[in-house]
Amino acid sequence: MDRLERRLLSRLARASQDYGLIEPGDRIMVAVSGGKDSYVMLHLLQEVQRRVAFDVELIAVHLDQHQPGFDSGVVEAFLAARDVPYRIVREDTYSVVVEETRPGKAYCSLCSRLRRGILYTTAVDLGCTKIALGHHRDDSIETLMLNLFYSGQLKAMPPRLTSDDGRNVVIRPLIGCAEADIAALATQLGFPVQPCTVCSRQPDLKRARVKALLDELHAENDKVRGNVFAALSNVKPSHLLDPQLRELAGVEALTGAEEALLEVEGVGAGCA
């Protein structure tokens, strides 16, 4: 195992420890879309399965959504060649999405809701304790910024989430892994990556703008993405305005001296 793979594996192990992602007796349904992220996630989870001292089952599931130009046979051949049980689920969500989406609107939002529903049901059918999705650090950062700029909410992607009806637990084992590292490992291991043929024809302008902004900031300072991600684990409820959060954190008004200690050097708010 080389440095890149070790780095990704240690980030995954760290996330698992911090958020209880992989636990003894788990039967984890690994959602494999055919993109680089889910291939790498399956690969790393199989490494973890080989190394941990407790029993964990993995079942790979690929949902064939009947998207034109996407060859699910490639994904099935990949899964068949790995030492993992798998299931291919076939549902024509593509036709539903095309029919139901208003002209000019992006397909992703309805498509992902339908995908999610089918994956949740499949996990229950398979008796799985958790569903692993391949979202990574950069997805989390972009989601944070999209929510901040366009929906007035301060939230990213949860590493572990119980569905509203309590039937499913979703985990994101790659949450601490950088997309560039994942892409490099997928290339290095020769995984048969196929991008989604639907959304690649439908540019998500807001996400593209956020990506471009991050790229621009990264060109000036390559720590920007890491810093935004670190901020998600370094929240100061006293410096936010959510009354519930402040109450939960037992926040009382700070003294001037305490406030000065929390100031970030060089980031002044200006004269007020």
Pairing of strands 160-162, 169-171: antiparallel
Residue closer to ligand SF4, measured from CB, 109 or 162:
109
User: 84, 42 in Cβ contact below 8 A?
Assistant: yes
CB of 58 to ligand SF4, least distance (A): 22
CB of 232 to ligand SF4, least distance (A): 23
CB of 106 to ligand SF4, least distance (A): 8
Q: Give me the sheet containing 130-132, strands edge to edge.
A: 86-90, 57-64, 27-31, 130-132, 169-171, 160-162
Q: Does the footprint of ligand SF4 cover residue 95 (CB under 6 A)?
A: no
- Given candidates 74, 96, 108, 213, which one binds ligand SF4 under the rule CB under 6 A? 108
The four Cα atoms 55, 115, 155, 157 give a dihedral, to 10 degrees, of 30
SS3 222: coil
Residue closer to ligand SF4, measured from CB, 206 or 246:
206
- Given candidates 131, 193, 198, 228, which one binds ligand SF4 under the rule CB under 6 A? 198
Q: Does the footprint of ligand SF4 cover residue 119 (CB under 6 A)?
A: no
Residue 194 and residue 135: Cα distance in Å, rounded? 16
CB of 62 to ligand SF4, least distance (A): 12
- Given candidates 17, 112, 163, 221, which one binds ligand SF4 under the rule CB under 6 A? 112
Region of 107-115, 158-166, 207-215, 258-266 interacting with ligand SF4 (CB under 6 A): 107-115
Residue 74 and residue 53: Cα distance in Å, rounded? 33
Residue closer to ligand SF4, measured from CB, 115 or 225:
115
Residue closer to ligand SF4, measured from CB, 9 or 119:
119
Q: Does the footprint of ligand SF4 cover residue 107 (CB under 6 A)?
A: yes
Tokens at 169, concatenated:
């637990």
Q: Does the footprint of ligand SF4 cover residue 199 (CB under 6 A)?
A: yes
- Given candidates 28, 56, 196, 228, which one binds ligand SF4 under the rule CB under 6 A? 196
Residue 239 and residue 246: Cα distance in Å, rounded? 9
**Cα 202 from chain centre:** 21
Region of 40-48, 111-119, 129-137, 148-156 interacting with ligand SF4 (CB under 6 A): 111-119
CB of 123 to ligand SF4, least distance (A): 18
Amino acid at 91: E
Amino acid at 209: R
Please list the alpha-helical segments (H only) found in the chain. Answer: 3-19, 36-51, 72-80, 93-100, 108-125, 137-150, 179-188, 205-220, 224-231, 243-248, 256-262
CB of 113 to ligand SF4, least distance (A): 9
Residue closer to ligand SF4, measured from CB, 114 or 184:
114
What number of other Cβ atoms are within 10 A of residue 107's Cβ? 20
- Given candidates 41, 111, 144, 186, which one binds ligand SF4 under the rule CB under 6 A? 111
Residue 165 and residue 117: Cα distance in Å, rounded? 12
SS3 223: coil
Q: Which residues bind ligand SF4 (CB under 6 A)?
A: 107-108, 111-112, 115, 196, 198-199
